[in-house]
Structure 1
Amino acid sequence: MKIGLETESYHLLFVTGRMDVFSFIKKAADLGLDGVMLNIIPWPEREEICVLESFDPQYLARVKKEIDKYNLYSEIDTNGTDPEHLSKVIETAHRIGADVIRTYVCRGEYDAQLLKKAPSEIKKVVPLLEKYRIKLAVENHEEETSSEVINIINQINSPWVGAHCDVGNGMMAWEDPVEAVKMLAPYAYTTHFKDHIIIKDEDEYKVCGVPIGEGNIDLEECFKILMKGSTLTRINIEMCFPYAVSFKRAAGTGGVYEVGEGAFKVDEAPYDPNLIKPKDYYYPPDSLLEKMIEDQKLGVEKSVKFVLNLRNKYCR
């Protein structure tokens, strides 16, 4: 099993100009990893900043050369189902040598109409996927349950379209991570491997990212399911820390009705709420920025160590 790293794991370094795609690729190699997953969506409220600075063929050739230099695999993260946009992303993936693209349907809030039209839109790019031998993976991205993702895949009914199994995102739709992985594993073409806790933010509970191995998701069980229940040859680390987000669906939507047990156990917030509110974790104030950047860097190191240990335990 190969292990890769998603750019979101270092989002604070990217948005502060301390990392670019080339230094990220080198960092992944330095960490002893096998691949990179490049998220090409501009950051929220930072639309001018993107992992890929250009879609110019010469620039993309430089990116591919850097990936090849370290003998890494590459995948791309995007969002949406607009055929014109997806076609552009497929062409980009082809130019950098990426053979899997992640996308998702809903963007920030659940939208049944977007889910309804997703299959017909995605079908329009299947010929291009086939041409370049690239697979498209639909993610359970906070708003969608596993069954909703599987429904889209079944309607498309193409070997070029499968699932992106995010082991933690189902929690935002009140879905137990282990159950979500069980459902998505047979359809999975790629992954995000992460960890979460539940925290109390004033009168609201939120899902909070933490370094992998420090949360309450049964990651060992998730890893074993992906090993035995899927045809995956790669697992991608996406450490979403610092990050906290509200639930996106009504309690019970994904089968869990309340917080308190298992992955939904309530823990203390990683930062003093008197200093920073969870809603500000993603873009912290200047007074905490340096500390949280260092925490993120250390968190990636911890996450990589944890996942590599799982691989050594179950794959070697």
Structure 2
Amino acid sequence: MVLALPEVNGFFKDRPMGVVVHSYGQRWQSKLNSPKYPGFKDALDLLEHCHTLGAGGVQVIVKDWTPDFAKKLNRRREKLGMYLEGSIAVPQDRSDVGRFDQEIKNAKAAGVHVLRTVCSSGRRYENYHSEAAFRELQQKALASLQLAEPVLQQHKMKLALENHKDWLANELVAMLKKLDSPWIGVTLDFGNSIALLEDPNTVIQTLVPYVFSTHVKDMALEEYADGFLLSEVPLGKGILDLPQIIALCKKHNPEVTFNLEMITRDPLEIPCLKENYWPTLGGVTGAELARALRQVRQHQYAPGLPRVSHLTPEERLVVEEQNINACLEYSKNTLALK
């Protein structure tokens, strides 16, 4: 491992790693007719399959659950001895609070203890093209979370906001301080913020005091003409010191869950040398850009970043399953999450 965090006491989870639904981008609600890799139509299908892999739980989208489905899911979850996390949209305005409240009730009935959310429409450098547009997003996000907070308090449910290639770590902390709620924290994604030129060690150390949940991943890098390429790779193959990151998360929150988000896809382009990358990132310094590019050049992924768009749908399903299995094996054998 090449990016080492400071030594901390070795706390590790006493249950296996879970799986985020986005790890199954090929199979989730897939219409492909694959006998070996059938699509998952709902959270129950995902839960059943992840249990066969030895996963400890799942993080899955809550939208459109009925109360009866939530109860059925909870019965099965309890029988399998797995945990369940939800992924939910925060209220867009006051008229949307009722929807949010019902989804919280359904999630709680299913045994969900923490809900992950995002408050942006996508990657900062792709979806927002001026400082004013991003400031408007920040204001709307704060207003949405302020609408959500009383509902969370009423139902005693935790909401975890992900660093989703949108917020810089300090921006996310500033919003959490404004909210000042024990019910709102962070889904700490281990690798997303590299896309914003942030040092992953600094991001972890900044956000970990607020951690409720995680997206565990390892990342690899490759230089290209307009900046660098960024890919999820099987755990242990990338640049992140996963044992130390997980130990630090556990130190700050002994109840934190560790959820695998191994997305099988082509590399993402991070066009940090193009002018249109920068309108919302004026606070990022030239020194930070230089550090990020040095990191890329020093840690080129020797095998070449994985690419799957040239594969057939069935071949992509095979690679997706292989990647998830490899990550879960690493989590048991190296991270001691078992």
TM-score range, shorter chain: 0.7 to 0.9
| Aligned-residue offset at 1:179 | 1.6
**Offset of residue 153 of structure 1:** 0.9
Cα deviation for residue 237 of structure 1 reads 1.1
Structure 2 equivalent of residue 7 of structure 1: 21
Q: Structure 1 residue 297 and structure 2 residue 307: aligned? A: no
| Separation in structure 2 between the aligned mates of residue 140 and residue 194 of structure 1, nearest angstrom | 13
Structure 2 CA distance for aligned equivalents of residues 11 and 183 of structure 1: 29
Match of 1:266 among 293, 300, 303: 300
Contact 2:120–2:141 (8 Å) recurs in 1 = no
Task: Name the CA distance, whole Å, in 1 between partners of 2:214 and 2:319.
Answer: 24
Note the C-alpha offset of 1:260: 3.7
Counterparts of residues 77-116 of structure 1 (less than 5 Å): 77-80=87-90, 82=92, 84=96, 86-110=100-124, 111-116=134-139
**What is the identity, as a one-letter code, of the residue corresponding to 2:260?**
I
Structure 1 contact 211–241 (Cα < 8 Å) conserved: no
Query: What secondary structure does 1:175 align onto?
Result: coil
Match of residue 141, structure 2, among 118, 126, 129: 118
Q: Deviation of residue 201 (structure 1)? A: 5.2
Equivalent in the alignment of 1:275:
none
Deviation at 1:263, TM superposition (A): 10
Number of the residue aligned with 1:141:
164
Aligned in 2, Cα 1:233/1:121: closer, same or farther, shift over 3 Å? closer
The answer to whether residue 178 in structure 2 is matched with residue 155 in structure 1 is: yes
Whether contact under 8 Å (1:6, 1:237) holds in the other structure is yes
3-state SS, counterpart of residue 234 of structure 1: coil
- Cα shift readout 1:233-256 (whole Å, capped 9, x = no counterpart): 321111122243233864883873
Matches of 2:87 and 2:267 in 1, distance apart? 20
Q: TM-score, normalised by structure 2?
A: 0.77
Q: Which region of structure 1 is more displaced relative to structure 2, 118-127 or 83-92?
A: 83-92
Is 2:39 the partner of 1:19?
Answer: yes
Structure 1 segments, 4+ long, off by >6 Å, are: none
For residues 107-256 of structure 1, what are the structure 2 equivalents within 5 Å?
A: 107-110=121-124, 111-200=134-223, 203-247=226-270, 250=278, 253=284, 256=288
Tell me how far 1:88 sits from its aligned partner: 4.2
| Residues in 2 aligned to 1:61 and 1:142: alpha-carbon distance in whole angstroms | 34
CA distance, structure 1, for counterparts of residue 138 and residue 205 of structure 2: 22
Residue identity opposite 2:50 in structure 1: A
Higher RCO structure (Cα 8 Å, ≥6 apart)? 2
Q: Is 1:67 matched with 2:80?
A: no
Q: Percent of aligned positions with the same letter in both sequences?
A: 21
For 1:288, which of 312, 323, 331 is the aligned residue?
312
Q: Cα deviation per residue 1:169-225 (whole Å; 9 max; x = unaligned)?
A: 111111122221111111111110011112345645221111222222222221222
Q: Cα 1:143–1:247, aligned 2, differ >3 Å: closer, same or farther? A: farther
Q: Contact conserved, 1:167 with 1:178, CA < 8 A, in 2?
A: no
Partners of 2:73 and 2:195 in 1: how far apart?
Answer: 34
Distance 1:59 1:78, change over 3 A: same
Q: Secondary structure, in 3 states, of the residue corresponding to 1:163?
A: strand
SS of the residue 2:27 aligns to: helix
Between the aligned partners of 1:261 and 1:105, the Cα distance in structure 2 is 29
The answer on whether the counterparts of 2:220 and 2:232 sit within 8 Å (CA) in structure 1 is yes
Equivalent residue of 2:112, what SS? coil
Deviation at 1:32, TM superposition (A): 2.0
> Could you say which residue in structure 1 is the equivalent of 2:66?
56
Name which one, 1 or 2, has greater alpha-carbon Rg.
Answer: 2
What code does the residue aligned with 1:298 have? Q
State how many pairs are aligned.
290
What is the letter of the counterpart of residue 284 of structure 2?
T
CA contact (8 A) 1:129 1:135 kept: yes
**1:176, 1:147 → 2: CA distance?**
12
